[in-house]
């Protein structure tokens, strides 16, 4: 029997994620959006694409939360993108109101699901989703680290002219300027990245990774990245649906790991059928650990802006 995945938000990320899942064939899809006709139109197009691509999973588009009932995973992409003149707090408050409504609609209909958050600022809004849902924190996760790691790998592969598949690396911390790429744990065909790149070139790639989303926004002029974010989210879903126990960085609730507590932040996690089944503690250098803890502090401070939504 196929699983059931509901995607809240039928924009570019949500529709692209739906397409990837349908191609892989491991779940039927409910694509929900508040805009009349948007999810229905994209679902119809994706369904017709299946005739050509020969996938047999189903997809429906809807504006009715009753259709998400019984979902195994709910992927949330709903929300607003940051606009000119809008600061971080403005974006947080607008999207927090949206996410609160979404999660309240989900929890009664999908009491056993895993929630995967994509909406920005993702680490803080994943914390909000956890508080609103009342779910165990292992079943409420944020997608960012898998994307940031993919970007770091891609930039290294471009710089060295090697296939990205030969690169092993990880990016931890918050999804933003304080993210923590880990050159000390980065290898290319088994060789340490520090043996292949100068400190200056490596620092440039780290900074480009931190600005990876902004770089795409500046090139597109309107809109933001969606292919890689969707692919990264689907990789999380697939590990959960098949209980693959894959280890990847996701935004997860820390309970003392890496000296971090009571905040959602990007850490390496074993993903299985129950969500975040274990946080893996890597051997970080003192500098890397300090950067990770500083990143967590930024997002812990941001939680204070959520009090009106969490009633705490």
Residue owning tokens 């400190």: 199
Collapse the DSSP code of 248 into the 3-class scheme (helix H, G, I; strand E, B; otherwise coil) and give the result.
strand
- Asked if 21 and 234 count as a contact pair (C-beta separation under 8 A), the reply is yes
How far apart, in whole angstroms, are the C-alpha atoms of residue 160 and residue 152?
12
Exposed/middle/buried for residue 170 (C-beta within 10 Å: 0-12, 13-18, 19+)? buried
- 3-state SS record for 145-208: HHHHHHHHHHHHHHHHCCCHHHEECCEECCCCCCCEECHHHCEECCEEHHHCCCHHHHHHHHHH
Which of 19, 112, 137, 175 does the annotation list as catalytic? 175
Provide the token pair at 23.
């191609």
How far apart, in whole angstroms, are the C-alpha atoms of residue 204 and residue 307?
37
Active site residue 274: no
Question: E strand or H helix at 155, and its extent?
Answer: helix 145-160
**What angle, rounded to 10 degrees, do the helices at 145-160 and 212-220 form?**
80
Counts of helices then strands in the chain (DSSP H, E): 10, 14
- Asked if 185 and 170 count as a contact pair (C-beta separation under 8 A), the reply is yes
- The total number of residues written for the chain in this structure: 312
- Output the DSSP codes for 131-146: HHH---GGGEEE--HH
How far apart, in whole angstroms, are the C-alpha atoms of residue 164 and residue 152?
10
Point out the residues that are catalytic.
Answer: 175
């Amino acid at each position: 029997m196929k699983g059931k995945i509901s995607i809240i938000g039928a924009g570019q990320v949500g529709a692209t994620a739906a397409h990837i899942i349908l191609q892989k064939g491991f779940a039927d899809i409910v694509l929900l959006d508040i805009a009349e006709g948007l999810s229905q139109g994209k679902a119809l197009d994706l369904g017709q694409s299946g005739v050509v691509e020969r996938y047999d999973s189903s997809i429906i588009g809807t504006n009715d939360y009753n259709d998400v009932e019984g979902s195994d995973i709910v992927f949330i992409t709903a929300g607003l993108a940051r606009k000119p003149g809008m600061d971080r707090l403005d974006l947080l408050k607008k999207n927090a109101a949206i996410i609160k409504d979404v999660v309240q609609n989900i929890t009664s209909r999908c009491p056993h699901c895993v929630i995967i958050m994509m909406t920005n600022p993702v680490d803080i809004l994943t914390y909000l989703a956890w508080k609103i849902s009342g779910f165990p924190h292992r079943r409420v996760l944020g997608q960012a680290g898998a994307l940031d790691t993919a970007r770091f790998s891609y930039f290294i592969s471009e710089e060295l002219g090697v296939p990205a598949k030969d690169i092993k690396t990880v990016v931890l911390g918050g999804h933003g300027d304080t993210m923590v790429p880990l050159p000390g744990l980065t290898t290319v065909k088994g060789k340490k990245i520090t043996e292949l790149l100068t400190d200056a070139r490596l620092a440039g790639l780290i900074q480009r990774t931190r600005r990876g989303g902004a770089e795409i926004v500046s090139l597109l002029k309107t809109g933001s990245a969606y292919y890689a974010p969707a692919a990264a989210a689907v990789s999380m879903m697939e590990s959960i649906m098949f209980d693959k126990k894959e280890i990847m960085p996701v935004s997860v609730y820390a309970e003392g790991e890496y000296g971090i507590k009571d905040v959602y932040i990007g850490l390496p996690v074993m993903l299985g059928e129950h969500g975040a089944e274990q946080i893996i503690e890597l051997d970080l250098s003192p500098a890397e650990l300090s950067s990770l803890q500083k990143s967590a502090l930024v997002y812990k401070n941001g939680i204070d802006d959520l009090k009106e939504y969490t009633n705490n």
